[in-house]
Amino acid sequence: MHDSCGLISHLFGRPGYIRYPLGFPNPDAEYFGYNDRLVRLPDGTEQLGTKNILRASGWAATALIAWRVGQYVTSKTECLEMYRQHIDDEWTAHIEILHTKCRGEWKYLIPEAQEDQVELQNICRRNLEFENHFLLIYKKFLMSELSKGEAKYRLWALDSYCRGPYIDDEVCSTIAGLQEHENMQIRQRATDAVECIQEFIKN
């Protein structure tokens, strides 16, 4: 879960931290900033494409599967199959179309047909909704790890937090409170996380 949140916070030129609700990477761009990854063509040239949107959404879907049912995904194809089998919610169709259209039919490239380009724009709009859906669940997971987890899970959560902070009043307050924890390592990591929060807010 932590790595998936970190990926969302660092891809697409985002600032490296999370605030809910997340906005488009570039709201004024044709595909809202989601086509930021260079894709190499057979002739050796490169074009901007949507590989990162598959990467980020795939990691998020994989994290949700692992968290909800304790199953681990080993491939992109398996991710779709296991999501459909174990979760099968309103986001299943979105994950499926990312695989069938963006990855399969369009090979991560911007399609040439205008109607396909419109479809890709709609996919990108929907993807922001999926990212925010994931972030709401991730916050519950993060709060659980910070509040009730064993020391090793709290330390892992704090370390991960410093790499991609989730700027939220409840989360920040919980982390600040851990500066008084009986465990010296947790106190120190919490202080590091608070400094990280302050640095991101300042900038």
> What are the tens digits of pLDDT across the range 55-70?
999 999 999 999 999 9
**Model confidence over 175-198: pLDDT tens digits?**
999 999 999 999 999 999 999 888
Q: Using alpha carbons only, give the angle 183, 187, 193 rounded to the nearest 5 degrees.
A: 145
pLDDT at site 174: 96
SS3 142: helix
Rounded Cα gap, residues 82 and 112, in angstroms: 32
Q: Report how far residue 147's alpha carbon sits from residue 10's, in angstroms, rounded to the nearest whole number.
A: 26
- What HEC string does 20-62 produce? CCCCCCCCCCCCCCCCCEEEECCCCCEEEECHHHHHHHHHHHH
Best CA proximity match to 167, nearest among 139, 129, 130: 139
- Is 80 exceeded by the pLDDT of residue 149? no
pTM of the model: 0.94
> Could you tell me how far CA 123 lies from the centroid of its own chain?
16
The beta-strand segments (E) located in the chain are: 37-40, 46-49
The yes-or-no verdict on residue 203 having pLDDT over 80 is: no
Two structure tokens written together for 189: 């990591």
pLDDT at position 199: 84
Q: What is the pLDDT of residue 17?
A: 87
In the predicted structure, residue 164 carries a pLDDT above the cut 80: yes
